[in-house]
Amino acid sequence: MSTVQRVPTIYLCGPIAEPGKPAKGGFQSCNRRTIDTLVGRGVEVHILPYAQPETRGIRKLIEYASGFTKLAWKVLCCKHGSILHLTGLFGPFIAAEIVLIHFAHWRGCLVIYDLRAGSGELHYRRRGPIYRRCFAHAMRAADLVMVEGHKLMGFVESLTGKPPVFFPNHIDTSAIPPRLEAAATEHGAPIIGYAGSLNPEKGIRTILEASRILTRSGMNVEVRLAGIGPKVFLDELRGEYADVRISWLGALPGDQVLELFRTAHFFMFPTVHRGEGQSNALTEAMACGCVPIASDHGFNTSVVGDCGAILAPQSDAERYANALREIWESGRWHELSQQSQRRIREQFSSPAVIDGLLRQYQSLGSGL
């Protein structure tokens, strides 16, 4: 019997990007990649997407409530002996997710709770005792808990008494273009590339201040920023850092983001964003050969490994500038660039990650 034949029917439930449409966040994009890769392997996958209301206020609450009611009915109609792979949003949704877990069990299905955000533990610590009991119950009720980052493993095991499975975000490395070294070095100085939200909590000011420090020390760095953010904040930065070579690229489609990364030397990521998990941009930048200099926040450390520099959260721009300078002037950049590409290919590519996911599906299915 082939490997695919031993995989039970999968119902993937959570925020899911529609085919051919831009994803709204990492949850949607990763789930879409997972579905597409599983289907490409011949696995029977049914999609149970969460509602994604565009409205606000009471109408938004009504749409969410209606969406979860429909999901509950669909879960009760799942094939007996299948697996419900639930990418949870926890927080205000935890009660509804507990209902989905128990409905799946009543239907004779097994449940994976896929904890994909770095804020999972933060919500648990900061919310009240009722929420903590509900969250712990969801973790214990699931047949298997998966986590996106190693940071969450001890936390989840403390609630469930058993270690979770590491299931990171993954990218299609076959779509990664080769580096353009000639274009990247035409200025004779490093290029810092960044793509993502241009918000204060992502550390954009730190990137620009570090670049100014390097420029004033004689290193003629260039910064290329892709993304959008609050107009007032960006206007302020444009005025404040007019003396730094910055390309404000605006929102770019995926292929142009990869083009940006394959001509940049570094991906600087001083994020302190509360909900940071595994950044798609960080993973893609490393796959393109950018050397990462990132904060020890979210799951950055799990991704970066020994391929760049990890700095303490809230490190100042001087430390980011020094980390870049040390890598560049020591001649280690080429080695770390190749190491970054290899790490993503071996540990965070869709083929590698989905291989592990299929083994978990098979292991759960063997107990049915």
Domain ranges of the chain: 4-170+349-365, 173-347
Residue 277 has pLDDT above 90, yes or no: no
269-274 average pLDDT score: 91
Question: pLDDT digits over 8-41, tens only?
Answer: 999 999 988 887 776 677 788 889 999 999 999 9
Q: What percent of the chain has pLDDT over 90?
A: 73
Q: Which contacts of 205-208 are long-range, i.e. CB under 8 A and separated by 24 or more positions?
A: 205/237, 205/317, 206/268, 206/270, 206/316, 206/317, 206/320, 207/268, 207/270, 207/320, 208/237, 208/240, 208/241, 208/244, 208/246
- The angle, 0 to 180 degrees and rounded to 10, between the axes of the packed helices 119-126 and 129-141 is 140
Q: Report yes or no: 71 and 50 within 8 Å, Cβ to Cβ.
A: yes
Residue 349, CB-side half-sphere exposure with 13 Å CA sphere:
16
Mean pLDDT over all residues of the chain? Answer: 90
What's the DSSP call for residue 51? P
- φ, ψ dihedrals at 324, nearest 5°: -65, -45
Q: What percent of the chain has pLDDT over 70?
A: 95
Split at pLDDT 50, 70, 90, the class of 186 is very low
Residue 129: is it exposed, middle or buried by C-beta count within 10 angstroms (0-12/13-18/19+)? Answer: exposed
What is the residue whose two structure tokens read 């391929």? 307
Q: Report yes or no: 351 and 41 within 8 Å, Cβ to Cβ.
A: no
In angstroms, the CA 35 to CA 11 distance is 10
Q: Which one has a higher pLDDT value, 61 or 138? A: 138
Secondary structure (DSSP) of 8-24: PPEEEEE--PPTTS--S
Task: Report the CATH number of the 173-347 domain.
Answer: 3.40.50.2000
Question: pLDDT digits over 213-236, tens only?
Answer: 999 999 989 999 999 999 999 999
Q: Which contacts of 16-19 are long-range, i.e. CB under 8 A and separated by 24 or more positions?
A: 16/47, 16/49, 16/50
pTM here?
0.87
Most confident of 170-184, 206-220, 267-281: 206-220
In angstroms, the CA 185 to CA 337 distance is 14
Task: Report the CATH number of the 4-170+349-365 domain.
Answer: 3.40.50.2000
Sign of the dihedral through C-alpha 63, 30, 17, 101: negative
Close Cβ partners of 184 (under 8 Å, ≥ 6 residues apart): 191, 262, 263, 264, 265
**Which has the minimum average pLDDT: 15-29, 84-98, 141-155?**
15-29
